[in-house]
């Protein structure tokens, strides 16, 4: 869809949100003036202002007498939807400037609820990966991802804790298995951090967090199931069709 075709403020906010989260717009980048953006998008200045207000609430941008700028350290979390889009664009589930530290990669007998998600028999194993993402000194998320056990025979990197082999695993799995993600679902809820989550996010135990889970799969079943949590003040935002 062209910029001219995006009329609603949510579309405009979504466009710039994606540009910031993927690194297309670098921290400190000055955005065009409201009038210039209104002319480019063919909308009223008020519509542009409404879109920018949303991005300001998410702390993705900051304003000053000199104009509107991308925040130096955007306090924004990344939804599973954004990571899936990112992997399709540049193969990596990590955003621009984001790094990861893998703390576990192993074959395990999963909890019952995970076994049910993958439709496993009692005692069957899955691949379990655990890692923390960050940008600079900011810890962005703690994640646990699960895959069918037989994927490890085709993608040995699933059992590697090497950080350099973590960011493109989703792409590798899809390429090697010749499967395509045709359905995706995210679920989120607010709660307090347990000891493990607090340790990975450098928070006191019991701190408020936003926790979520995603399922990506096709007609054959679930390809990847992931659980993640974000520290306080991280904002998740995305657009959708009503």
Q: What CATH number should be reported for the domain whose range is 3-70?
A: 1.10.10.10
Q: Which two tokens stand for residue 208?
A: 């408020």
* pLDDT computed for residue 235 by the predictor: 73
pLDDT, tens digit (0-9, with 9 covering 90-100), for 137-164: 788 899 999 999 999 999 999 999 998 8
CATH 2.40.50.140 is held by the domain 80-230: no
Q: Where are the domains of the chain?
A: 3-70, 80-230
The pLDDT value recorded for residue 98 is 85
What pLDDT is attached to residue 163? 86
- Please give the pLDDT value at position 107: 98
Contacts 24+ apart (CB under 8 A), 21-24: 21/60, 21/74, 21/76, 21/78, 21/82, 21/95, 21/96, 22/82, 22/86, 22/89, 22/90, 22/95, 22/96, 23/95, 23/96, 23/97, 24/96
Average pLDDT, the chain: 89
Query: CA–CA separation, 133 vs 141, rounded Å?
Result: 5
Segments of the chain with pLDDT less than 70: 1-7, 22, 73-76, 237-242
**Residue 191 CA from chain centroid, whole number:** 19
Matching CATH topology for 3-70 and 80-230? no
How many alpha carbons lie under 13 Å from residue 16 in its C-beta half-sphere? 29
| DSSP assigned state of 234 | -
Determine contact, residues 178/117, Cβ cutoff 8 Å.
no
Task: Give the rounded distance of the alpha carbon of 221 from its chain centre.
Answer: 22
pLDDT at 135: 80
pTM: 0.74
């Amino acid at each position: 869809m062209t910029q001219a075709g995006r009329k609603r403020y949510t579309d405009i906010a979504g466009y710039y949100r994606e540009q910031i989260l993927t690194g297309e717009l670098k921290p400190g980048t000055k955005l065009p003036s409201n009038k210039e953006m209104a002319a480019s998008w063919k909308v009223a200045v008020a519509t542009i202002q409404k879109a920018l207000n949303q991005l300001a609430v998410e702390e993705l941008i900051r304003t000053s007498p000199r104009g509107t700028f991308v925040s130096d350290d955007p306090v924004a979390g990344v939804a599973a939807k954004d990571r899936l889009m990112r992997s399709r664009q540049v193969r990596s589930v990590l955003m621009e400037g984001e790094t990861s530290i893998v703390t576990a990669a192993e074959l395990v007998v999963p909890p019952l609820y995970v076994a049910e998600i993958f439709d496993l028999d009692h005692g069957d194993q899955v691949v379990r990966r655990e890692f923390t993402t960050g940008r600079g000194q900011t810890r962005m998320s703690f994640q646990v991802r699960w895959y069918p056990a037989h994927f490890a025979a085709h993608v040995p990197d699933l059992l590697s804790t090497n950080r350099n082999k973590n960011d493109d695993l989703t792409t590798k799995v899809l390429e090697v298995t010749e499967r395509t993600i045709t359905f995706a679902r995210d679920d989120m809820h607010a709660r307090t951090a347990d000891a493990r989550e607090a340790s990975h996010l450098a928070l006191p135990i019991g701190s408020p967090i936003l926790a979520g889970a995603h399922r990506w799969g096709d007609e054959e079943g679930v390809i990847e199931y992931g659980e993640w949590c974000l520290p306080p003040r991280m904002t998740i935002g995305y657009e959708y069709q009503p």
